[in-house]
Chain A
Amino acid sequence: MTSSASEAAASAVAATALPRRVPWHTRLARIEPASLVWLLLALVLLLLVAAPLGKLFLVSFEERGTGAFTLANYAAAYGRQRYLDALFNSLRLGLTSATIAVVLAVPMAWAVSRTDMPGKGLTWAAVLGAFVLPPYLGAVGWILLAGPNSGFINVAWRSLTGATAPLFNVYSFNGLAMVIALTAFPLVFIFVKSALDLVSSEMEDAANILGAGTWTTMRKVSLPLVWPAIIGGFIIVFLESIALFGTPAIIGIPARINVVTTQLWQFFEYPVRVEVAAAYAMPLLLITVAMIGVQKLLLARKGFVSQTGKGGERRPIKLGPFRWVMFAWCAGVGLLAVGLPLSVLLQASFAKAWGRGLAFDNLTLRNYRLLIFEHEMAMTSIWNTVWFSAVAATAAVAIALLVAYIVTRRLVPMGDVLGFMAMAPFVIPGIVMAIGFYAAYAGPPLSLYGTALLIILAFTARFLPIAYANAGAAIRAVHPEMEEAARILGSGRLRAISVITAPLVKKALLGGWLLVFIVASRELSAAIFLVGPRTRTMSVLLYDLSEAGNFEVLAAFGGLLLLVTMVFVVIGMKLVGRDFMLRRT
């Protein structure tokens, strides 16, 4: 019996029941206290997402200075081939990066979640490392590794084969897409792995009994069951890729690839053309709508419920010698995403002059000493980063959980709008989002410019989609039957949630919190236009250092950033329990 049938039946009942409902005033009296929460939530989302975006939308039709209605901004934004090329490049980049990320991550997630592959802890460490590594730091590492002339990989390739052409040129479209995918694939991994963890072996056993081998089972049972997670991960990586600013600035400009974010930067040059930038950002919103539409279409009329509250044993699949192939795949991805870039960055951070390479007399602690003892801003920015990210992560997870619950359980008629609002921020390039926030909240009456609150709000809004996707997947996997049982026994909705649903999704939520914390701690594009003199974050300082002609200090500061994030991840793991990161048994 598929759950979709029962769900469809339930919604059909709800639909037919509606006309016979009692009038409004009687219904008001029966309102649950929970409804107030939904109301509050709508207000919060309005402030966090709708207001800045609405402002942006309005501004796109305003004439600079006068505020009169005009379409000239759109003419200016799409009036040049170069601008259209940038839009096209971004789309292509997003699709390529997301595809690579899915190809990299899904086998890893399957191997870690379902099989007896060795070295799972190592794989986890690689995923975590890739996730903690800020994209722009990864980009710098990859420039050192795969610069066509100087990159270690290409130098080694040339000396081994005698070839003159580089093996892999990072300054190319594929180079850019690959580097982005290598920092973004953990999103897919975490989504798919958590979903696979919930699939019980019984379903696979059923396939096995009917004669399917391991591969057929994986292809026809395990993976299709986690389609929502795969598609969710693909979309998030796509959106993350087209919203990145740092990596395209570092790799795309030398590669002569103009994308939306670098083009937006041009619109923000003096004289700042926020209006044109706003007009230029609008198609991205349409793309989100389209993507979510496609997602709905792909997932429609299918059931993905795997957690039913009715037992469900999970056993690792025995891969035999093939487990080493899977291990090699995971190790390879880990090496490319973390091992290699991190090693070259570490080497640079301890080097007096990185141009001199690895030599004993080239080693120094001076770069770290400078940052820790002589650079006042460095320490302040570390503290800022930690507490901004922590507060934003908490807020985002709380909001996302509530929204996901409303949307999945169809509690209010316009629930999907809430879901859309929670999902929308991810496609707005951080820069544009920041300008939206700036336009809405920086000046009077709220005058939040230069305050920590403004950045925390922007971080919360920007990473709401991650928390939301996470919470949504978690809630979707909990069958309403369990809650319904509690409610039949007389419990209110809030109590049913806190006693039944919340414990079931607790681990997923903590995972979501860590995800948001980590991405917020490395977030650059939303921060760069909102920071004031006292609210600078590590990422902004890193970006400033990245064009300072001093990569030794940049690398050292990157090292500090990673250290700080790792400390928090370890604390989080300790609080949640080690089994959070590793497979539950």
Chain B
Amino acid sequence: MRTNRRFLIAGLSAAAIIRPRVAAAQELPPHERALHQAAQREGELTWYTGQLQAEPSEAVGRAFSERFPGVKVNVVRSTSQVAFQRLSQDMRARVAQCDVFSSVDYSHLTFLKREGRLMPYRPENAAGLAKGARDAGDTDGHFQITYLALYALGRRTDRVSEAEAPTSWRELTDPRWRDKLSVGHPGFSGAVGSWAIMMRKAYGEPFFRALERNKPQIGRSASDPVTVLNAGERVVGVAISGQSTLLSISRGNPLALIYPTDGTLMVPSPSGAMANAPRPNAARLFMEFMTSPAYSNTITSYYAESLRPEVPAPRGSRPLDSIPLITPTPEEVEKNIAEVKELWRDIFGV
């Protein structure tokens, strides 16, 4: 019993720490206040997301409900491909369940827009996004960038020193990294798919064949290498999620990020409200929230990049303009992803 109470107190104090960070309801700007009133009548919204991991996604939902009391968020978090699959299933069954859809795969949102599935709503807060994020969003405002995902190299600090660690993607083909690497899978992770597209563009097919000779351990998501490294199974993570790695480091795991000299992969990841959203006002309000400073405050505390100029970058991350970045264009992703997955499977067998 005593443990229970201590549990409860610990939980409450954790909630108390989070609370002051967000603005109280009465300070809302007028456009948010009007939407809030309308959204309160709807009471909740459902958010399919493949962007941030489960824990930060839940935190985003809580932060939203704290800023806009009376509106609950049903967070349905999975990988982007699964999220998109669930949405496709909804559409085929003609059941509208999703209000806001978020993915790491840019082509999902361009597809939805093309099919007329997105609500033509440009959030007012989007005007205040950092330039990079604002420009990468839809020109018609149907979807906005809500996650600047970074994928880099990671190492076990106790097993690979900074001096001996690889500094570029290209070095991964060096035989001394045999049985040392861990990577996700383009068939599961949209991010790893984008990475593979960029690698093929830069170094061609031989890069993958050489990588295969080093026998990397293949997982699924771009966060799987975090787990593999933490377990000590492998010592270098490839195309590893920057956000998950920094979060894991903050919890005391012996990891470090390496920003490769031939370009850290940056994937601007979009979100949009659905045209047939069962709770349209809550959906609009959530789009306002995701483009607001309050949202950036929440996600930076989980080591995702800030989307707003007034919100500082997360601790431990490098300023984006100080590292070389590579980003596939939406067209490149749409055109090459299926081919790259086939190539990967032919070479790696899975």
- Is B93 within 8 A of A442, CB to CB? yes
Q: Which chain A residue shows the least CB distance to B220?
A: A547
B345–A82 CB distance below 8 A: yes
Would B231 and A374 count as touching, CB distance under 8 A?
A: no
**Interface positions of A from 105 to 135, Cβ below 8 Å from B:** none
The answer, yes or no, to whether B252 is at the interface (CB within 8 Å) is yes
A256 touches B223 (CB 8 A): no
Q: Are B244 and A548 closer than 8 Å at their CB atoms?
A: yes
Residue A288 lies at the interface, judged by CB distance under 8 Å to chain B:
no
B254 within 8 A of A: yes
B217, A171: Cβ atoms closer than 8 Å: yes
Contact status of A534 and B88, CB under 8 A, knowing A353-B253, A376-B61, A544-B54:
no
Smallest CB gap from B217: residue in A: A254
Are B76 and A144 in contact, CB atoms less than 8 angstroms apart? no
Asked whether A438 and B89 contact (CB < 8 A) given A256-B218, A449-B95, A547-B223, the answer is yes
B255: chain A residues at CB < 8 Å are 355
- Near B by CB (< 8 A), chain A positions 367-399 give 368-370, 372-377
A533 in the interface, Cβ–Cβ < 8 Å? Answer: yes
CB distance from A351 to the nearest CB of B (A): 9
- Residues on the B chain within 8 Å of A150, using CB: 231-233
Return chain B residues, CB-CB under 8 Å to A352.
251-252
Question: Judging by beta carbons under 8 Å apart, are B61 and A443 in contact?
Answer: no
Residues of B within 8 A of A447 (CB): 93-95
Check: B292 CB closer than 8 A to any chain A CB: no
Q: Are A253 and B90 in contact, with the CB atoms below 8 A?
A: no
A143 partner, pick from B84, B97, B179, B233, beta carbons under 8 A: B233
Residue of B7, B82, B229, B247 touching A365 (CB-CB under 8 A): B7
On whether A353 and B90 interact (CB within 8 A), knowing A262-B350, A547-B224, the answer reads no
The one of A151, A256, A362, A553 that contacts B348, using a Cβ cutoff of 8 Å: A256
In this assembly, does B262 line the interface, its C-beta being within 8 Å of a C-beta of chain A?
A: no
Nearest A-chain residue to B244, judged by Cβ: A549
The answer to the question of B339 belonging to the interface, with a C-beta cut-off of 8 Å to chain A, is no
Evaluate contact between A149 and B220: CB separation under 8 angstroms. Answer: no
Q: How far is the CB of B186 from chain A (nearest CB, A)?
A: 10
Contact B84 A270 (CB under 8 A): yes
Whole-angstrom distance between the alpha carbons of A550 and B247 in the complex? 9
Chain A interface residue count, Cβ-Cβ cutoff 8 angstroms: 62
Query: Is A465 interfacial (CB-CB < 8 Å)?
Result: no
**What is the 8 Å Cβ interface bit string for chain B, positions 221-246, against chain A (1 contact, 0 not)?**
10111110111111000000100110
Q: How many chain-B residues does the 8 Å CB contact rule pick out? A: 74
Task: Judge if A354 is at the interface, Cβ distance under 8 Å.
Answer: yes
B284 at the interface (CB under 8 A from A): no
B220:A256 contact, CB within 8 angstroms: no
Give A257's nearest chain B residue, CB to CB: B350
What's the least CB distance linking B250 to chain A, in Å? 10
Whether A548 contacts B218 by the Cβ 8 Å rule is: no
How distant is A134 from chain B, measured CB to nearest CB, in Å? 17
Question: Is B11 in the interface zone, CB < 8 Å from A?
Answer: yes
Query: Per-residue 0/1 for B317-350: is the Cβ within 8 Å of any A Cβ (1 yes, 0 no)?
Result: 0000000000000000000000001000110111
Whose C-beta in chain B lies nearest to the C-beta of A248?
A: B350
| Contact present for B95 and A443 (CB under 8 Å) | yes
Contact with B along A496-532 (1 / 0, CB 8 A): 0000000000000000000000000000000011001
User: Smallest CB–CB gap between A410 and chain B, Å?
Assistant: 41
Q: Is the CB of B94 within 8 A of A353?
A: no
| Shortest Cβ distance from residue B123 to the other chain A in the assembled complex, whole angstroms | 22
**Do A144 and B7 touch across chains, with their CB atoms under 8 A apart?**
no
Known interface pairs A253-B185, A369-B7, A549-B224; A356-B253 also in contact (CB < 8 Å): yes
| A373 with B14: CB separation less than 8 A | yes
List chain B residues, Cβ under 8 A from A544.
Answer: 54, 77-78
Give bound CA distance, A547 to B15, whole Å: 26
Q: Does A52 contact B (CB under 8 A)?
A: no
Closest to B215 in A: A256
- Residues 265-289 of chain A: 1 if any B CB is under 8 Å from the residue's CB, otherwise 0? 1101110100000000000000000
Chain B residues with CB under 8 A of A374 = 11, 14-15, 58-59, 62
Interface residue? A462 (CB, 8 A): no
With contact pairs A355-B229, A372-B7, A551-B227 given, residues A450 and B95 touching in the complex (Cβ less than 8 Å): yes
Whose C-beta in chain A lies nearest to the C-beta of B77? A544
Asked if A353 contacts B95 (CB within 8 A), the reply is no
Question: Within 8 Å CB of A369, what residues of B?
Answer: 7, 10-11, 14
- Quote the shortest CB–CB distance from A252 to chain B (angstroms): 7
Tell me whether A365 and B89 are in contact in the complex, defined as CB-CB below 8 angstroms, given that A550-B53, A553-B55 are known contacts.
no
Residues of A within 8 A of B53 (CB): 548-550
Most chain-A Cβ atoms within 10 A of its Cβ — which of B48, B82, B245, B346?
B82
What is the distance, in angstroms, from B330's C-beta to the closest C-beta of chain A? 15
Chain A 223-254, CB-CB to B under 8 Å as 1, else 0, gives: 00000000000000000000000000100111
Given contacts A149-B179, A355-B231, 12 further A-B contacts (CB under 8 A): A253-B218, A355-B232, A369-B10, A369-B11, A375-B58, A377-B58, A377-B74, A444-B94, A447-B95, A449-B89, A533-B76, A549-B227
- Would you mind naming 10 contact pairs between A and B with Cβ atoms under 8 Å apart? A270-B88, A355-B156, A355-B232, A373-B8, A376-B58, A442-B89, A442-B92, A449-B90, A544-B77, A551-B231
Identify the A interface with B (CB < 8 A).
82, 143-144, 147-151, 171, 249, 252-254, 256-258, 262, 265-266, 268-270, 272, 352-356, 362, 365, 368-370, 372-377, 438, 442-444, 447, 449-450, 528-529, 532-534, 536, 541, 544-545, 547-553
- 4 shortest interchain CB distances as A-B pairs: A549-B223, A373-B11, A549-B226, A150-B232
